[in-house]
Amino acid sequence: MNEFLDKLSKIRSGFLSRMRFLFLLDFVSIFSILYAIFIIFQVEYFLSKSSLSLPIPVRFIPPILAFIIAIIVASLLHKKDKKININLLIEKKYDELKEKLRTAYDNRDETNEIVDSLKDNVSSALTNVSSSHLLSKGAIISKILIAVIFIAGVAVISSNPSQYQIPPETIANNFKNITGIGGTANETTLLPIGQIQGPPTAGTSGNGQIIGHPKIASLQGKNIDLTLFSGQGAGFTPTAPSQQQGMFIPSTSYPVDVVGSNVSDGGYSILMQKSEADKTLIQDYAISRS
């Protein structure tokens, strides 16, 4: 194997080692965050109250769950680490190897005077290349600080969890308010007003149903008088018509005229005793005068 390939392999191994270190820092940070959240929200308490049959004690579930999730998330963040092109990173950091390293690597199986000279030059330049320079020092330092902060935070919370835990009742009520399951936040309860005992009827006792006792209704802030004016009491019940009530007594069919209206009953009787010709004459005279 060419000498420059050996050096390139060592640089790549050192780079991947540092990427594994970043993977560890990300894992620790994520695990610390999740475990602190599980402690604050008392996941262990809710698991103990659930009907799930767990193969291990409940107290081990939160850390194991946080561990599994942290592994998955960190793996997703670093799944492309092994696919990183080391040659491009080296050429980006070291201008003297720009394009030369890739040319030598592409012709690593070739052997001639020109290619061998290029490989020797690349091998000499790789001596000054350090895998630690391929990564940003600021990114590494920031990840270390974040991991330390999260570790310290979860240590403080786990040492005195009761001071930071949210009461289970508060969590349950908030969950019900958000989801509307089993709570009253999204429910509307319709309560009947008064006692319902069949259809409302109108009566004189005023039993508080829809017809009878209530006399004032409120509509848009204004009181409306609903008093029922009837014959007796608070309501009226229609009855069959009576033959004795409201009987109409017709008057005489003889037309009322001026003469007839100014005479007494006796004079009217005398008038009725006149002949038909006299009655006609008197009627015509009264009509002409009216």
Q: 75-128, pLDDT tens digit by residue? A: 999 999 888 989 899 998 888 888 888 888 888 888 888 888 888 888 888 888
pLDDT tens by residue, 52-86: 777 888 888 889 999 999 999 999 999 998 889 89
Residue given tokens 């630690």 in the structure block: 132
Residue 146 pLDDT class (50, 70, 90 cuts): very high
DSSP 254: S
Which stretches of 41-167 are DSSP H helices? Answer: 43-49, 61-77, 86-93, 100-106, 113-126, 137-159
pLDDT tens per residue across span 150-178:
999 999 998 888 888 788 777 777 666 66
Q: Reduce the DSSP state of residue 283 to 3 states and report it.
A: helix
When comparing pLDDT for 243 and 107, which is higher?
A: 107
pLDDT the model gives residue 191? 45
- Provide the pLDDT for residue 272: 74
**Phi and psi for 71 in degrees, rounded to 5?**
-60, -45
Q: Which residues of 263-273 are buried (b: 16+ CB within 10 A; e: fewer)?
A: eeeeebeebee
- For 181-238, write each residue's pLDDT tens digit: 554 444 444 444 444 455 545 444 555 555 555 555 555 555 555 555 555 555 555 5
Q: Which of 66, 105, 69 has the alpha carbon at shortest distance from 87? A: 105
Residue 45: C-alpha distances to residues 79, 180, 181, 217 (Å)? 35, 22, 20, 53
